[in-house]
Structure 1
Amino acid sequence: MRVSMRSRGGKGALSDAELTTAWQAASLLLGYPDDDLLARRPLLRRAVAGLPPAVREPLERFLDHLDAASPPEPAADYVATFDHRKRCCLYLTYYAYGDTRKRGMALLRFKHAYRAAGLVLDDGELPDHLAVVLEFAATGDLHQGRRLLLEHRAGLELLRLALTEASSPWASVLDAVSATLPPLDGDTHQAIARLAAEGPPEEEVGLAPFGGPVFLPDPSVGARS
């Protein structure tokens, strides 16, 4: 089966199998880079080798980064990036709702989708963590997982922008995820601009304005055909 979206490589639709592979790999690479993840690098390289260039190449760039780094560096960089920078939050509902009551309702939508697919998260794990959403999309319900990603596309792209501006190696993983989704439309660009300027609602300290354009580069630029 092939889904209706097209990769940014422009060579045709991604199959369900390709989406599953891409999202499973991205989910793992957005997790904490412990010894278990580092040991999976050869397996991940083999898994992504057959993906379209716009998806494969950014994942391979990140794997190259892990190969070149000494073991303690990725873990320290992960904490500095995702635990200490609000602009690099991996929890998708934070961008749209901050820490408001509406965010609680949004989190329930994720939980309901997971439960409908027979999946139950641990109590200490929030369902909107991007790695969790990608895992669900890859192994639970591809179409419901894609729906959740698209509903929070503005937050996902804002995270990609923050990582890109910070020259973070994890920007490549977000490039790959974005390349599995439809091209951004005008409404999504406006939502990204609004979030970048205002930050999450009703927060004393939200996302600081990015100070640059919010029209992100197409992650397929420079990809081999």
Structure 2
Amino acid sequence: MHTFKILSVLLTYPQQETLDALGEMAEIIERETHLSNVHKKAVQSLIDSYRGADLLDLQERYVALFDRGRFLSLHIFEHVHGESRDRGQAMIDLLELYRTHGFELSARELPDFIPLFLEFLTQLASREQALQLLRDAMPVLSLLGARLAERGSRFHVIFDALADIAGEPEDIADIRRQAAVEGEDESLVNMDAIWEEEAVSFMAAGEPCQTQTGTVNPITITPRDQILKSPRNRSL
């Protein structure tokens, strides 16, 4: 199912190779029958948005969207386990699944990275198995799609396309409602606070090599609430 591969590439940090392959990707999306016409057009529109775009601009937008907070993290288990120990075991289980099917990762790759997960689905011989694994991940993927839609990002069409293939989770209405009412990404708020604190500390330092008196107030990290409210699927 090459459609998974195209969606994986579109969800990966843009490279020159991405721009060079836009025509081929558009042809594959048009040729394959896994997406409805509505979702084909939406993905084609995303592909078209890359045409003529400056690569550095695309890369900066990608980093600003996906790499600066947790709400839009492209790591599946971030939205299920957060920083708990369960995340490590889930990673091991998923990595073992990959290896069972001959899908090897480099030392730097995390198995729950969504573009990597989609690439794995592309290589599965059994379409039904690929669809079942995708359905297992849909509560997280649908939440990401809803958050992207709330932020006006066109990347939501990728997750809409995945829902078109696998079907939406039963609690999709709750997921969309959550995305609509949740506040700012706390990780971004805390990062801004850290930068502000650093700026204040620097300005208060006075002359170079002068010892600063007083104690800087520590940054309090808000405990992470459970983001995904649907039951966790242990097969991932």
TM-score category, normalised to shorter length: 0.7 to 0.9
**Cα distance change of structure 1 residues 207 and 54 upon mapping to structure 2, 3 Å threshold:** farther
Q: TM-score under structure 1 normalisation? A: 0.73
* Partner in structure 2 of residue 93 of structure 1: 77
* Partner in structure 2 of residue 174 of structure 1: 159
SS of match in other structure, 2:166: coil
133-142 vs 83-92, which deviates more?
A: 133-142
1:99 CA drift (Å):
1.4
1:205 CA drift (Å):
5.0
The alignment covers a number of residue pairs equal to 187
1:84 has 2:68 as partner: yes
1:25 CA drift (Å):
0.8
How far apart, CA to CA, are the structure 2 residues paired with 1:193 and 1:181? 21
* Partner in structure 2 of residue 114 of structure 1: 98
RMSD of aligned Cα (Å): 2.8
1:173 CA drift (Å):
1.5
* Partner in structure 2 of residue 39 of structure 1: 20
1:190 CA drift (Å):
4.6
**Cα distance change of structure 1 residues 207 and 60 upon mapping to structure 2, 3 Å threshold:** farther
* Partner in structure 2 of residue 149 of structure 1: 134
How far apart, CA to CA, are the structure 1 residues paired with 2:78 and 2:226? 14
* Partner in structure 1 of residue 51 of structure 2: 67
SS of match in other structure, 1:97: coil
1:140 CA drift (Å):
3.2
Higher relative contact order, structure no. (Cα contacts within 8 Å, ≥ 6 residues apart): 1
1:165 CA drift (Å):
1.2
CA contact (8 A) 1:22 1:177 kept: no
1:193 CA drift (Å):
6.0
CA deviations on 1:101-143 (whole Å, 9 max, x unpaired) are 1111211221121111111111210111110111000113544
1:129-144 superposed matches below 5 A: 129-141=113-125, 142-144=127-129
The structure with more radius of gyration: 2
Q: Percent same amino acid among aligned pairs?
A: 22
